[in-house]
Structure formats: structure tokens, C-alpha cells
Chains A and B, each alone.
Chain A
Amino acid sequence: MIENKENRVIKIFHGPQHPGITGNMSVELDLVGETIQKARTHVGYLHRGFEKLVERRTIIQAFTIVCRICVPEPDPNEENFARAIEGLAGIEISQRAKYIRVMVLEMARIGAQMLWMGGQSGSVGLGTVAQWSIYDRDLILDLFEELTGGRVYHMYIYPGGVRRELPDGFLDRLEQFLDYLEERLPKYDNIFFDNSTFKKRAIGVGVINQDEALKYGYVGQALRGCGIKRDVRKDNPYLVYDELDFDIPTFDGGDVYARALVRRQEIRESIKILRQVIKQMPTEGDIMQKIPKHRKFKIPKDDILVSSESARGEYNYYMAGDGSEKIRRMQVKGPSLIHGFTLLENMLKGEELSNVAMIMNSLGICPPEIER
């Protein structure tokens, strides 16, 4: 903590040691009393040079790296990576593989929302919610372990399809989990979303207005929490999302509470999607297309941009090939780049110190995807 000569403005670094920070980053805050005058985001604690590493590797080597770009939500990275390679190489995957990918992405979305609930509830002192939601996320990780062999990083979605067939009875076990989760959701309403402590803390805090959200390129709950219905799955559909029936929940408050309600509703929509996937998934079809062996897999000289909707908002992958078996350039833009800088720095001005962790959690900021 540093005090200036007039002893008025106090500068503190909120993170990365702070338990309320969303990962390894820091926000430098200038405070007068408890009120924030200025906020400046610092990243760099987790720069592992993924984009540089990928340039020197073949596809199969790069594939093991991309899932690590966002720890709480690795699957959209795998899927974007695979789809970008497929787009460049002109590979069309089977309908069955598309359904399996949607299933993985929606399972991952529920898992990410559960993890978020743990972090957000912790930031307002409701520790019990975190214990419940992390337990329920673990049940999803059990399913992931059964399907892919990995709990957090799955390395399952590969250019050309997916790597393994579903284990026998997997869809039944997934359905059982969905039944269980649906029973649990009202309990989460009681303990968290309808909790007066959370409401008092979150309503009217961290407000985003619609004009700003559209103009500055905010994504995910930052948009939908101020009443703007935008979702890549509907607006720019990929895989088989255009064959599935689901809603895009929106709320008008624009504040932390509205963004929480959007996430609450999104869990229900993901359950709805998964139930349709279980019913509609074709039983026939190759899960993996015939593709060149990785040492002979030459990526054409071209570039492409692919987008998907992660649990926190739009995720973009720019990919350029140069005709060799290595990727010339892969550039990742997750929701955190704009939310962690432009949005957070503006939003924190005038806020109370005690609200910083809650606001950060509501924006879904994930530092590794900023630093890549």
C-alpha cells in the first residue's frame, strides 16, 4: 500500500494475491476512502506464449496447448481451433460429430456457470453456495472423465471430428445428471439468486447501458444483462445449433444481479439443449473424418475467423496457414480482453472497494485468455 504526499489517495493492488480476483491478474486502484477514483488492469502473471508456441508446432502438437488458454472453460478453445483448421482445410465433419461437439460444449457451459456461481457467491460471503456448486460441477467433470479421460482439459475435439466414441450408456448417465441438476436448481434460487444478501449487494452495482455495450463490443452476459439479445449460437450459428430449440435469456437491469440472472437462466437453456441432443443425435456416422496424418497435414495458405459462444460470451479465433504443416498465426480473442480492460477500468470508477471482486466475477474475466 502506497500513500501519496497529500495522504489522500491510496493506491492498492487488488490481486493476484486477493482471493476475490478472477485468476492471476491485478487491478491497480486509486482510492479516496473506500471509493475508487481510477482503476488500471495489469496482466502478465500468466503469459505462457501460447500463440508463439503454436507457430512452431504441427496441428496435433498445437492441439494440446489450446485447451489451456482458459482453465475454467477449455472446450470452446478446442472447438474453435478444430473448426478453424477444418475451415482452412475444407473438411466437413459428420452430423454425429457435430452433435457430440454441441453436447461437450453445453456440458462445459453448465460446468463453467457452476464454477462462476462458486466464485460469485464467495465474493459476497456466501460460502455454502460455492461448496454446493463446485460439488455439482464435479459431477460434470466425472462425465467428462468418462468420455475423454480428462477432467479439466479434455483434448477431445480434434480437427475432423471428435477423438472417441461415446461410452456405452453415456447418454443415459448424462440424462440422469440433467434430472438431478434440474431438481437442484430451485435450491440454488433459494440459497443464492433469491438471497437478500446477494440482491442487496448486486442490484444497481456495475451497471452497463445498452449503447455502450453495443458500441464497445461487449459480449455475453454484459450484453444480455442489459436487455440485448445477442448470442453467436443464434446470430451466427455453427455446428447444429440452428437445429435446436432454445432461448436467449435477457434481463434489463444491466447490473451485477441482471448478469447473474442471465447465467441462472442459461443453465436451464443448456439443459434444454442437452435433452434435445440426447434425443436427436444420429446413431450412425463417423465421429472422425479421414484426415492426413499430422506430419503430412498441410494447412492451405489462407486465413479465417471462427466464432463461438462460450459461457462468458463470444470467442474468436483468427487462423492463418502458409501451406506448410505448421500454423502461421493463431490469434485468440476471448470475452476477457475487452471486459478486463475497457469495461472494467471504466466501470470501477466511482465504485466501492468491496464491490471489485463481485463486479469482476460478473464480467467473467479470465486472465489467461488475455495473455495467451
Chain B
Amino acid sequence: MIDSLAKHYEIEKKAERLFKIRIDQNELLRTINFIGSSSNFMTLSQITCADWIEDEVFTLNYILTTEQRNKNLMIALDIPRDKSKLPTILHLFPQAEVMERDLHEMYGIDFIGNATLYDFALENWKEIPPLRREFDTLAYVNEQFEFRAGREDNKDVKAETKRRRAEAKKLKAKMEAKK
């Protein structure tokens, strides 16, 4: 099965039963249709996304699995961060609906043809999609929420650790000098 796909794609063996191919974003539907019709990778298991902000791309992996569930194939593709659009695969795999909704909410990727890209885990989210690297969780929390009373003396952990270590060192040196 993998051998037959190797005639058409460059296959990277990632682990014992895990394979990966890399395609252009325009080839997504054609590739999934071809693999579905010419091999046993018949079910969509997961769609993953990673933000490579330094390269200005999102890398998505469409993970297909066999009927026997004994092999996984990762179909990897890059899309530009500023024009993050892909055709939906909802018509091929109904389970893609929730996966595309998730990625739309977390990265702002538009899946063209999926009419159900409404709220997933967030509600009325107005900020930039939170799993994009530029979204600063700490700044958002500091802006949106107030610390509960009693935490006014909250200290920066790193600075406080540094201060305590310096103090301990000083004390140790003092003790040794006394000896």
C-alpha cells in the first residue's frame, strides 16, 4: 500500500507505522481523493496545525488512518499565515466539521465550503485567534481580569528567586568570613 503511494509521492517514514508526505496547498483535495481511492487510508483521524511565525506559515497535517487502524499517514502542507484559506473536506469526512471549526477558532483559518464555522470552545471572541503565536496570553489576562484581593504583594517569581539566591550567597560568604 505504501509502496504504491511511493510511486506518486515522496514518503518519509516517521516511525514504525507512521508515514508522511508533503504536498502543495492546492493539491489537498486531489491528494486526499487519490489516496482514498488508491489505498487503504480511508478515515480522517485528525487535522493538526502548527504556527511557524518566523516562516510566516501554518503547517497543517491531515492524518489519515487505515481501515485496520494500524498505519497513519500525515499529509503535510503549508499555508501563508496572512491568507490562511483551505477548501473544506467536510463532504469527504463528516468528522472534519468539528476539526475545521476548532482550527478556524484557534488559528483563524477559513475552510471554504464549511458553513458551520461558528463558535467552538470560545464565546464571542473578538481578539486575534488565541493559538497564533503573536497572541500574548499573559497580556490578555492582565488586561481582561483583575487579581483577587489579597494578591497585591504578588511578586515576579524569577526576580524573587534571583534575589533570594543572592541573599543566601551573601549570608554564606558572611558566615565563612566569620569562621
Contact = CB atoms under 8 A, between A and B. Distances in A.
Would you call the interface of chain B mostly helix, strand, loop, or mixed? mixed
Interface of A is mostly: mixed
A132 interface: no
Interface stretch (A8-16, A159-167, A330-338): A330-338
Given A304-B18, A305-B63, A52 B95 contact: no
Contact of B43 (A55, A217, A322, A337): A217
Contact of B44 (A47, A217, A236): A217
B68 A328 contact: no
Contacts of A370: 121
A53 B98 CA distance: 22
A338 B95 contact: yes
Q: Number of contact residues on B: which range applies?
A: 35 or more
Nearest to A340: B98
Interface stretch (A28-36, A62-70, A313-321): A313-321
A314 B14 CA distance: 19
A43 B121 CA distance: 5
A214 B50 contact: no
B84 to A, nearest CB: 15
A123 B102 CA distance: 30
B94 interface: yes
A342 interface: yes
Contacts of B67: 214
B99 A305 contact: no
Contacts of B167: none
User: Taking each of B68, B69, B130, which has the highest tally of chain A beta carbons within 10 Å of its own beta carbon?
Assistant: B69
A341 interface: yes
B98 A342 contact: yes
A87 interface: yes
A230 interface: yes
Interface in B27-79: 42-46, 48-52, 59, 61, 63, 65, 67-72, 74
A316 B69 contact: no
B122 interface: yes
Contacts of B68: 230, 235
A87 B14 CA distance: 9
A47 B95 contact: no
Contacts of A314: 45, 69
A358 B123 CA distance: 28
B61 A303 contact: yes
A318 B48 contact: yes
A359 B118 CA distance: 25
B73 to A, nearest CB: 10
A57 B70 CA distance: 33
A217 B95 contact: yes
Contact of B49 (A217, A230, A331, A337): A331
B126 interface: no
B10 interface: no
A307 interface: yes
A232 interface: yes
A316 B46 contact: yes
A316 B130 contact: no
> Which of A52, A236, A371 has the most chain B CB within a 10 Å cutoff?
A236
Nearest to A318: B48
A215 interface: yes
Contacts of B123: 44
Interface in B86-125: 93-95, 97-99, 102, 119-123
B17 to A, nearest CB: 5
Nearest to A213: B43
B45 A316 contact: yes
A216 interface: yes
A169 interface: no
Interface in A70-104: 87
Given A87-B15, A328-B50, A342-B95, A235 B69 contact: yes
30 contacts: A43-B120, A44-B120, A44-B123, A47-B122, A55-B133, A56-B137, A214-B43, A215-B42, A216-B95, A217-B45, A217-B95, A236-B17, A236-B69, A305-B15, A305-B48, A305-B63, A305-B74, A307-B72, A314-B45, A318-B46, A318-B48, A328-B52, A329-B50, A337-B98, A337-B99, A341-B95, A341-B98, A342-B94, A342-B95, A370-B121
Interface of A: 43-44, 47, 49, 51-53, 55-56, 87, 214-217, 230, 232, 235-236, 303-305, 307, 314, 316, 318, 320, 322, 328-329, 331, 333, 337-338, 341-342, 370-371
Given A44-B120, A217-B45, A305-B18, 15 more contacts: A44-B122, A55-B133, A217-B65, A217-B95, A230-B68, A305-B46, A305-B72, A314-B45, A316-B46, A329-B49, A329-B51, A331-B46, A331-B50, A333-B46, A341-B98
